[in-house]
A and B are shown apart, each in its own frame.
Chain A
Amino acid sequence: MSATPRTPVPQNLQDPVPMTLPRLAEKKRLSEPIVMVTAYDYPSAQVAQEAGVDIVLVGDSGAMTVLGYPSTVPVSTDEMLVLASAVRRGLETPLLVGDLPFGSYEASDEQAVATAQRFVKEAGCDAVKLERGGTSAERARAIVQSGIPVMGHVGLTPQTATALGGYRAQGRTSERSPRMRSRSRKRAASRSCSRRFRPPSRPR
């Protein structure tokens, strides 16, 4: 039986021009919303490609969504590189960002640069993402200086969710919000290319 109705195949919406950092900056300048989605393998990358998104993130969320770990903490760099390489093979024009997993960048600038280079050399990523402020801002600066664009991530940072008291929206108080603002500014000062931001929705 074919009980499930076939949804019409959408037209191919892919952007024929590769996404670059200057193009993202232009989108921001023109207030054109930037569309980002995660992908973890060849078919999901092809879906993102054909749907015409701007940025594809090989998130460490893949630890949970495709590898079945209970959190993002256990996933290794080698595992992330398998996922990122598969995504690269299915992706043409969106910017490809690889997520540095827990334990792969915190120890030193050298460790951070070496891991970021693996994502670029072995998996073909265009940029890398890492979590938090503090020393992460220094790591981000070191990676950027090595020639690899960095996406920061402040707010709810799952790699350190235990320290935050679980998966809870961050920056909801007048005391915490300035800390996040300060972290964001530190990230901007380290010339990161963008960041994810996860405070609560403002009621409209």
Chain B
Amino acid sequence: MEGLEIPVIGIGAGPATDGQVLVFHDLLGIYDGHAPRFAKRFAEVKAQMVAGVAEYAAEVRSGAFPAPEHTYSIDDEELERFRANLD
């Protein structure tokens, strides 16, 4: 941008500035408040986050999560000794 020695960063100011800035949550589609025209969405992250948490909730409620691979186990012999110690 001519006329100023310092770099000029624009937001909604067009391509003539020396750089651009956008709000993280706007450009990734996380914030769902009012989005001005210049806030181009480069991703839809909130939709993915909601889908992920909803899937987790559904799997907990259905019993699908946690599966054996998400669980720590103990040797049968060790478990027997543990049980004997409880008495």
Contact = CB atoms under 8 A, between A and B. Distances in A.
A133 interface: no
Interface residues of B, number: 35
B10 A198 contact: yes
Interface stretch (A38-46, A101-109, A112-120): A38-46
Dominant SS at the B interface?
A: loop
Interface residues of A, number: 48
B19 A34 contact: yes
Interface string B12-41: 111111111111111100110110101000
B57 interface: no
Interface string A22-51: 001101100101111111100010011000
Interface stretch (B1-9, B69-77, B78-86): B1-9
A28 B23 contact: no
B7 A37 contact: no
Contacts of A148: none
A64 B7 contact: no
B9 A55 contact: yes
Contacts of B13: 155, 197-201
A160 B2 CA distance: 28
Interface in A162-202: 167, 169, 184-185, 187-188, 192-202
30 contacts: A3-B51, A4-B48, A24-B7, A27-B19, A28-B18, A31-B18, A36-B19, A36-B20, A38-B21, A38-B23, A38-B25, A47-B24, A48-B24, A55-B9, A59-B23, A64-B33, A65-B24, A65-B25, A155-B13, A167-B34, A184-B8, A188-B4, A192-B6, A193-B6, A194-B8, A194-B19, A196-B21, A198-B12, A198-B13, A201-B14
